[in-house]
A and B are shown apart, each in its own frame.
Chain A
């Protein structure tokens, strides 16, 4: 079964450093997402991406964050100048179509620890 894959599975970084989280969405999917989950809390939407541009973003997704689809398969989340409160599990997700009823599939997540 096709799946969303994410790397790294776990990254530890020092406060102030930049991190890039990578994702390979399901191959025929057109809509891509990043969500995050702080330990013990619910999953929160960060950003959606379609046709090489951001289609929607949350209040969390400020100038510290950026996304990119550098080639036909990868979708990245860059976090600049990381803060302690950025420590969380970051999930990439994708779906084929945008209309309700198109299932969103999630990757296994990248666990980011900022120290």
Chain B
């Protein structure tokens, strides 16, 4: 049958507001998680990562929260800027040599 592209959830925020992007991961044994930003026509760009022995990690304007109990990961972006507009993917890794990507969330920032 014909393959259909995934419909990306979209988060629209006003410039200056905080953004929270959520991700549910699949494997309870995953021990490393990464958030990537992908702008149109470009490759995934590393934003921040977190290991399973942590529940929070902060970077510059970004914070990742990990809730292993419910297998949930979130990315918080403070003072969202127009340049933050992109698709954001979470990815998980466990022992194997590959990343498993989520479906992505499109962040739209409007003035």
Contacts and interface: CB of A to CB of B under 8 A. Distances in A.
Indicate whether A and B interact: yes
Interface of A: 4, 31, 33, 35, 38-45, 48, 50, 55-56, 58, 85, 91, 98, 100-101, 103-109, 111
Given A44-B101, A56-B96, A103 B6 contact: no
A110 B85 CA distance: 22
Interface centre among B89, B98, B101, B103 (most CB of A within 10 A): B98
B110 interface: no
Nearest to A104: B99
Contact of B97 (A42, A56, A111): A56
B94 to A, nearest CB: 8
A55 B97 CA distance: 8
Interface string B88-111: 010101111111111110000000
A4 B98 CA distance: 17
Interface stretch (B44-52, B58-66, B68-76): B44-52
Contacts of A104: 34, 46, 99
Contacts of A41: 5-6
A114 B31 CA distance: 37
B43 interface: yes
Given A40-B6, A41-B5, A91-B43, A100 B97 contact: no
A45 B98 contact: yes
A103 B31 contact: no
Given A31-B97, A43-B91, A103-B34, 7 more contacts: A4-B43, A40-B8, A41-B5, A42-B104, A43-B99, A104-B46, A106-B36
Contacts of A107: 43
